[in-house]
Amino acid sequence: MVSKSDNGAAIEFLDPAGKLYALDFMDGYGLGEGMIIHRGTSGHGLYEHAKSLSVALRFGSAVTGYWEDEDQAVVIVNGEQRIAADCVVGADGVHSKTRDYVPGYRIAPRSSELATFRACFSANLLVGDSEAQSNLEEVGVQDQMRRYITTGELGLTLATGKRGRNVIWQVWHKDTLALLQDRPAYSQVPAVVRHTPSEKPRATRSPLCPPGALEVGASCS
């Protein structure tokens, strides 16, 4: 999975003119520390590893109860089967149901009041476009991430993933691209955005927003 993870040395923060004003060296992310990896890639890798160890796997089962004491942790499956173990790991994401069992009450999601318009697709779609070649300079080696911050807390991110094999763009407001059109940094944007597959969903996960706070094509972060 390491070879399929992202490998960015730093996040570059730039103004709309493309001037670098800050670097985040992403302490804690690196070989032996932590990794940024696509959730599907991670899940598939864990699945294949579990199969190689002859771990019993089951799908379509609901955890309907949980309790623990000093000696064991126990889950109730489908309201009837009791499974005991030394440890239970809850890894069901931002909308975790497991989390509710730990404190014993429902933790309500809170809106960040930000929306994210984004897309991720294969860097192969940029091959042959001379204006997009800067995004392919380190394919197979490491990733790049550049965040352009504008006034009014609007921002644009251009990045690569999986060691340059994927291209990602992201804006925090639907009008960000229009507001950047007259800025020097915008020259890099069309070469990426125009290759976004038309069928590519822009909303990559369910929103953590109050009803009515989100428009079609955006996802809350």
Q: What does the pLDDT profile of the chain (221 residues) look like in tens digits?
A: 666 666 666 788 887 777 888 887 777 666 667 777 777 788 888 899 999 999 888 888 888 888 888 899 998 999 999 999 998 888 777 777 777 777 777 777 777 666 677 888 888 888 888 877 777 777 777 788 888 776 665 678 888 888 788 888 887 776 667 766 777 767 777 778 888 887 654 443 333 333 333 333 333 33
- pTM, full prediction: 0.60
Note the pLDDT of residue 214.
33
Catalytic annotation, pick one of 82, 101, 106, 148: 148
Catalytic annotation, pick one of 101, 118, 146, 163: 118
Note the pLDDT of residue 2.
64
147 is catalytic: no
Note the pLDDT of residue 86.
92
Note the pLDDT of residue 31.
62
Listed in sequence order, the residues at least 6 apart from 115 whose beta carbon sits closer than 8 Å to its beta carbon are: 172, 173, 174, 207, 209, 214, 215, 218, 219, 220, 221
163 is catalytic: no
Note the pLDDT of residue 174.
66
Alpha helices in 16-133 (DSSP H): 39-52, 98-101
- Distance CA(34)–CA(10), nearest Å, equals 14
Note the pLDDT of residue 210.
37
- Evaluate whether 68 touches 74 at the Cβ level (below 8 Å): yes
- Evaluate whether 114 touches 171 at the Cβ level (below 8 Å): no
HEC per residue, 124-183: HHHCCCHHHHHHHCCCCCCEEEEEEECHHHCEEEEEEECCCCEEEEEECCCCHHHHHCCC
